[in-house]
Amino acid sequence: MQLVLEKRAERSNTIALVSPLIAIGLTIVTMSILFVILGKNPISALIVYFIDPLTDAYSLQEIAVKASPLVMIAIGLSLCYLANAWNIGAEGQFLIGAVAGSWLAVKTQGTDAGFWVLPAMLLLGAVAGALYALIPAICKVRFGASEILTSLMLVYVADLLLDYLVRGPWRDPAGFNFPTTAEFDPVATVPILVEGGRLHLGAIITLLIVAAAAVLLGRTIKGFEIRVVGAAPRAARFGGFNANQLILLTFAVSGALAGLAGIIEVAGPVGHLQPGISPGYGFTAIIVAFLGRLNPIGILIAGLFLALTFIGGEQAQIAMKIPLDVTKVFQGILLFYVLACDSLILYRFRLVFASRQVSSGTG
């Protein structure tokens, strides 16, 4: 018996819509098996993971708080991936954005600097993220170095830089030697949307970015350019589109969005700069981008779903002593299933039963 792929004459739009759902279903089945192996009741584990967070207001806000950076980064990554430019260093760009914006917060700390501080921090974060992302892009365009490897290497570098700053020059003198800056001033903090809650302005910014990306990709010639460069590079060149320019552009935009997400995270939910400000947002956003089928609306939904698993994972750890790593396993398996189901859009699967056995093998 053998699985055979047959190319479809046309991509199947129905399957393009259902495939993420099939993937989620298969992931849940696989996770149930994993829970059984871990000696947990799969039904109650799944309820803690996927249902409980949806039932109280605090968790719902927290989902939105976690989804914001994921969606923001994933939107940028989707532009890269559509253009066949593989930025996998969003985590590093996120950290650099956080560092650059925090610089201003640290420098203006305790001064009477006004309301301009936060906008300037956001701008700094975005610009720094874009510049940091341009390093691998330029190495790719100018010298042909694999952007996959260089962008990833720079994640480690960014991590070490952040570590150095909060242990060295920027450390809070009153912080009992903990590696962290002092709490940011109110003018350097992202405003909260609901009194007493955690939902902040970042959520609104994220929604605006999703809308902008949807218009860009669906309606404009630039969006068409991005799609065609990725889908058929030679045809794109024939159409007069410059792939190298697009690599630079998409890397810069995705770096800017990751950097913006970074500074919003630091100036919002976290409130100060410290190591471990990201639970792997930059990498999880890769999954969000693919689960959302590189489509802005899809990414919004996928981002909320993965944020749910973060919250559910935390609650499962508290309530059922399920290790946090289960969430990462879940995300990895989900990405595999998403990619596998996407294959159904272009191919039809068919099982072939070997009807004849012939003695001599092939080759």
Partner 1 sequence: MELVEAIILSVLAASTPLLIAATGELVTERAGVLNLGVEGMMIVGAACGFGGAWLSGSTIIGALCGIIAGALLSLIFAMMTLGLAVNQVASGLALTILGIGLSGLIGAGFVGERITPAPHLHIPGLTDIPLIGRILFGEDPFIYLSLALIVAVWWFLYRTRPGLVLRACGDNHVSAHALGYPVLRIRTFAVMFGGACAGLAGAYLPLAYTPFFIPGMTAGRGWIALALVVFASWLPGRLVIGAYLFGAVTILQLHAQGAGVGIPSQFMSALPYLATVIVLVLISRARTGGSTAPAALGTVFVPDR
Partner 2 sequence: MLNSAPDLHSTETPLLQTVGLTKRYGDFLANDRVDIEIWPRQIHALLGENGAGKSTLVKTIYGLIQPSEGEMLWQGKRMILSGPSEARSRGIGMVFQHFSLFDNLTVAENVALGLDGKETFKDMSARLEQVSNVYGLPLDPKREVWQLSVGERQRIEIVRALMQDPKFLILDEPTAVLTPQEADQLFIVLDRLKAEGRAILYISHKLEEVKRLCDTATILRLGKKVATCNPKAETASSLARMMVGTEIKEVRAGAERKITVPRLVVNDLSLEPDDPHGVRLQHISLELKGGEILGIAGVAGNGQDELFAALSGERLSQDPGTVVIEGVAAGHLSITQRRKLGAAFVPEERLGHGTAPRMKLSENALLTGHAASGMVQRGFINTTATLKTVDRATEAFDVRKAKRDPEAASLSGGNLQKFIVGREILRNPAVLVVSQPTWGVDAGAAAVIRQAVLDLAAAGAAVLVTSQDLDELAEITDRIAVMFHGRLSQPLATSEASREKLGLLMGGSSLDEREAAHAVGA
Residues lying near partner 1 in the complex (CB under 8 A) are found at 3-5, 7, 81, 86, 88, 135-136, 139, 143-146, 148-150, 152-154, 156-157, 160-161, 163-164, 167-168, 283, 286-287, 290, 323-333, 335-336, 339-340, 342-343, 346-347, 352, 362-363
308-327 in b/e form (b: 16+ CB < 10 A) is bbbbbbbbbbeeeebeeebb
Q: What DSSP assignment string belongs to 145-164?
A: --HHHHHHHHHHHHHHHHHH
Residue closer to partner 2 by CB (options 138, 346) is 346
50 interacts with, out of partner 1, partner 2, none, CB within 5 to 8 A per kind? none
347 interacts with, out of partner 1, partner 2, none, CB within 5 to 8 A per kind? partner 1
Residue closer to partner 1 by CB (options 163, 185) is 163
Does 217 contact partner 2 by CB under 8 A?
Answer: no
Measuring CA to CA, which residue among 73, 118, 10 is closest to residue 284? 73
Cα dihedral sign, 144-145-149-154: negative
Site for partner 2 in 344-363 (CB under 8 A): 346, 356, 358-363
Q: What DSSP assignment string belongs to 121-138?
A: HHHHHHHHHHHHHHHHHH
Measuring CA to CA, which residue among 212, 120, 114, 108 is closest to residue 170? 108
**Beta carbons within 10 angstroms of residue 54's beta carbon:** 12
224 interacts with, out of partner 2, partner 1, none, CB within 5 to 8 A per kind? partner 2
11 interacts with, out of partner 1, partner 2, none, CB within 5 to 8 A per kind? partner 2
> Rg of the Cα trace of the chain?
22
164 interacts with, out of partner 2, partner 1, none, CB within 5 to 8 A per kind? partner 1
Residue of the chain from 32, 38, 157, 222 that contacts partner 2 (CB under 8 A): 222
Least Å distance, CB 24 to partner 2, is 25
Q: Which two tokens stand for residue 339?
A: 């990619």
Does 144 contact partner 2 by CB under 8 A?
Answer: no
Q: Is residue 177 packed enough to be buried (19+ CB in 10 Å), middle (13-18) or exposed (0-12)?
A: exposed
Residue 335 has phi, psi (to 5 degrees) of -60, -40
Residue closer to partner 1 by CB (options 68, 331) is 331
Least Å distance, CB 230 to partner 2, is 10
Site for partner 2 in 91-120 (CB under 8 A): none
* CA–CA gap between residue 332 and residue 329 (Å, rounded): 5
* Binding stretches for partner 2 (CB under 8 A): 6, 9-11, 219-222, 224, 227-228, 231-232, 234-240, 346, 356, 358-363
